[in-house]
Amino acid sequence: MKQRTYNILFHTHTVSGIVISVVLYVIFFAGSFAFFRDEFVNWERNSGVDVTDHITFSFDHLLDSVGQNYNLYGRDIELSKYYIEDRVSVNMTGTQSKTAASEDQLPKFFYYTPTDNSEATYAASYTLGEFLYRLHFLAQIKYPIGYYLAGLIAFFFLFAIITGFLVHWKKIVSNFYIFRPMAKAKTIWTDAHTALGMIGLPFQFVYAVTGAFFMIKAILIAPNVFLLFNGDQEKFYAELGYSHPHSKFIDERDAANYSIDEFVETTRDRWPGFNVTQVHLFNYQTTDMQLLVEGHLPYRSKFNGTGQALYQVNSGKLISERSPLEKASYLEAVKNILYRIHYGDYGGYALRIISFLLGIISCFVIISGVMIWLVARDKKHIPEKRRRFNEKVARVYMAIALSMLPVTALSFIAVKIFEPQGQSFIINFYGITWLLFTIFYILKKDLSFINRNTLLLGAVFGLLIPITNGIKTGNWPWVSYEKGLYHIFFTDVFWIILPILLLFAWKKTLKSGGPGGIPQKKVSKKTIPTKPIAEAVN
């Protein structure tokens, strides 16, 4: 590689990494915790659930219960279970009957809990687990700005990965095994950045690609709609497989009482082990009512085994099907694989724990990149004013990023103490607490203090989480395990192991000095030869 090309790649890698570092850290930190969204949600609600993707309750019972509060005639009804929870989402269009009351012609959306036949809005059902899940693609920012911003950050992250790989590829093997803990700070940060960056490279590449695809696909889709489909969005989404079949509405009520459960069981008999995750009812209670059953086979038996069956309800006839046992089309395969590898939900706890660790490693790679940038510019030949500015920028970055740890742990305590809580409480508590911590650390003007204090507070608050839950609910870890409340048990154990590791890291930083608690031992030029910045980082 020519020196000019090398320098261009190196500086573009540095600049792109610095520009996106804070937001990228937020995305990876929140995304790492989002791997355990379902466990955290059920811990918050103190509920035990069947750990399965399949909807286990009666659809007939649900429709009878919902029908007591709403006129369901002529509506399209979607019943979905996206997560492992004790509730299902109910999404209803307005009735197509022209003679119906005006209020029946309005769409409805709510969550239904079969155990107590209760309904709740999205805001009332909001949890800290949901907040962290949505924070990792910046959904709290006004739609669609947050989505597009997250997608662009993922795209630039992909660019930083590629340029970083090209910069380091000649020494990628040798540098991977180099770690000099007694060298100067810049060397330590560089060694850690290179080694951990290579460990997490496949993980980071996958999430950069899939994250960019999910968040900015709307930008990519728009030109295709107008160029290939003459602006017909319905036809375009039908080609992509995102739309559902629709039949012509006939305003004739069918007085027969059909069992939806029987159709679901018939579908499961066709494909043993089939997990039903969505049920769609079209033109409900009319003579032309149709039923679409969707789901997938267990991921361990078939990674890409999605399927669906469409029935004419009054005749019981199977109109069409897409068998999960058959080879999926190219389009379906691409969509499903991208979703599965992004969510990491196909390999059980082992895969999610590994993904969590790789996500935290990615956070460290981001922080180490910022520290390399800072230390490389903390030289005597650089004007004092510019050095102070660089230190201030790094301090703001570190304050925003590292304060997420104690704020997240403290939020777990808050949602348990002040339950039940809703969307506004969680967003306000997390946001205000995060802001206060950030301001405090910025004013402290000490990178070592920020590092050590966030580790210590994260550990202390984390250890208080299972204690708070035990006092509040009586479900201490051993109690929840005996009751079979495994999501509650997992969350409490998670917040016992993680704080112990944080305390260990905090204790190690007490023995260190320099920026971020890193020792800066002076070494001779013979040991570490003087090189230009770009070559030294490589």
More confident of the two residues 345 and 75: 75
More confident of the two residues 307 and 382: 307
Q: Taking each helix axis from N to C terminus, what angle separates 486-510 and 404-417, rounded to the nearest 10 degrees? A: 140
Structure-block tokens of residue 507: 């204790």
Residues 347 and 421 placed together within one structural domain of the fold: yes
The reply to whether 198 falls in a domain is yes
Residues 445-465 have a mean pLDDT of 95
493: number of Cβ within 10 Å: 14
The reply to whether 86 falls in a domain is yes
Q: Taking each helix axis from N to C terminus, what angle separates 404-417 and 3-34, rounded to the nearest 10 degrees? A: 10
Sheet strand arrangement including 290-296: 118-120, 108-113, 88-92, 77-80, 275-282, 290-296, 306-312, 317-322
The reply to whether 231 falls in a domain is no
Burial of 98 per CB tally in 10 Å (0-12, 13-18, 19+): exposed
Residue 538 pLDDT grade (very low, low, confident, very high; cuts 50, 70, 90): very low
Residues 262-286 have a mean pLDDT of 94
Instruction: Give me the pLDDT at residue 432, please.
Output: 97
Cβ(236)–Cβ(224) below 8 Å? yes
What is the torsional sign of CA 342, 343, 346, 348? positive
Instruction: Give me the pLDDT at residue 525, please.
Output: 40
Instruction: Give me the pLDDT at residue 184, please.
Output: 63
Give the lowest-confidence range in 189-198, 461-470, 477-486. 189-198
The reply to whether 249 falls in a domain is yes
The reply to whether 223 falls in a domain is no
CA distance 73 to 70: 9
Half-sphere exposure of 38 (CA within 13 A, CB side): 22
Residues 388 and 471 placed together within one structural domain of the fold: yes
202: number of Cβ within 10 Å: 10
Cβ(101)–Cβ(19) below 8 Å? no
The span from the first CA to the last CA of the chain, in angstroms, equals 14
Q: Is the bond preceding residue 272 a cis peptide, omega within 30 degrees?
A: no
Q: Is the pLDDT of residue 147 over 80?
A: yes
Cβ(112)–Cβ(62) below 8 Å? yes
Residues 279 and 416 placed together within one structural domain of the fold: no
Q: Using alpha carbons, select from 53, 27, 19, 28 the residue that is nearest to residue 38.
A: 53
CA distance 275 to 49: 16
Q: Is the pLDDT of residue 174 over 50?
A: yes
Q: Using alpha carbons only, what angle is made at residue 274 by residues 127 and 93, rounded to the nearest 5 degrees?
A: 55
Q: Which domain holds residue 399?
A: 9-48+131-213+342-517
Instruction: Give me the pLDDT at residue 238, please.
Output: 62
Instruction: Give me the pLDDT at residue 520, please.
Output: 42
pLDDT, tens digit (0-9, with 9 covering 90-100), for 283-294: 999 999 999 999
Cβ(487)–Cβ(43) below 8 Å? yes
Domains: count for the chain? 2
179: number of Cβ within 10 Å: 13
Q: Is the pLDDT of residue 91 over 80?
A: yes
Instruction: Give me the pLDDT at residue 536, please.
Output: 36
Residues 301-314 have a mean pLDDT of 90
Residues 309 and 413 placed together within one structural domain of the fold: no
447: number of Cβ within 10 Å: 23
Residue type present at position 129: G
69: number of Cβ within 10 Å: 11
- Please, which residues bridge with residue 439 across strands? none
pLDDT, tens digit (0-9, with 9 covering 90-100), for 310-322: 999 999 999 999 9
Tokens 């660089």 — which residue? 390
Residues 369 and 473 placed together within one structural domain of the fold: yes
Q: Is the bond preceding residue 107 a cis peptide, omega within 30 degrees?
A: no
Residues 171 and 25 placed together within one structural domain of the fold: yes
Give the lowest-confidence range in 91-100, 147-156, 195-204. 195-204
Residues 360 and 494 placed together within one structural domain of the fold: yes
Residues 266 and 375 placed together within one structural domain of the fold: no
b/e sequence 127-149, b meaning 16+ C-beta within 10 Å: bbbbbbbbbbbbbeeeeeebbbb
Instruction: Give me the pLDDT at residue 224, please.
Output: 60
Residues 241-268 have a mean pLDDT of 84
183: number of Cβ within 10 Å: 20
Residues 186 and 160 placed together within one structural domain of the fold: yes
Residues 321 and 376 placed together within one structural domain of the fold: no
Residues 302 and 446 placed together within one structural domain of the fold: no
The reply to whether 83 falls in a domain is yes
pLDDT, tens digit (0-9, with 9 covering 90-100), for 6-23: 666 665 666 666 778 889
Our measurement of the distance from residue 267's CA atom to the centroid of its chain's CA atoms, rounded to an integer in Å, reads 31
Instruction: Give me the pLDDT at residue 50, please.
Output: 82
The reply to whether 533 falls in a domain is no
User: Distance of CA 72 to CAs 112, 116, 180, 264, 462, Å?
Assistant: 15, 21, 69, 20, 46
Q: Is the pLDDT of residue 260 over 90?
A: yes
The reply to whether 530 falls in a domain is no
Residue 327 pLDDT grade (very low, low, confident, very high; cuts 50, 70, 90): confident
CA distance 353 to 42: 18
Residues 323 and 388 placed together within one structural domain of the fold: no
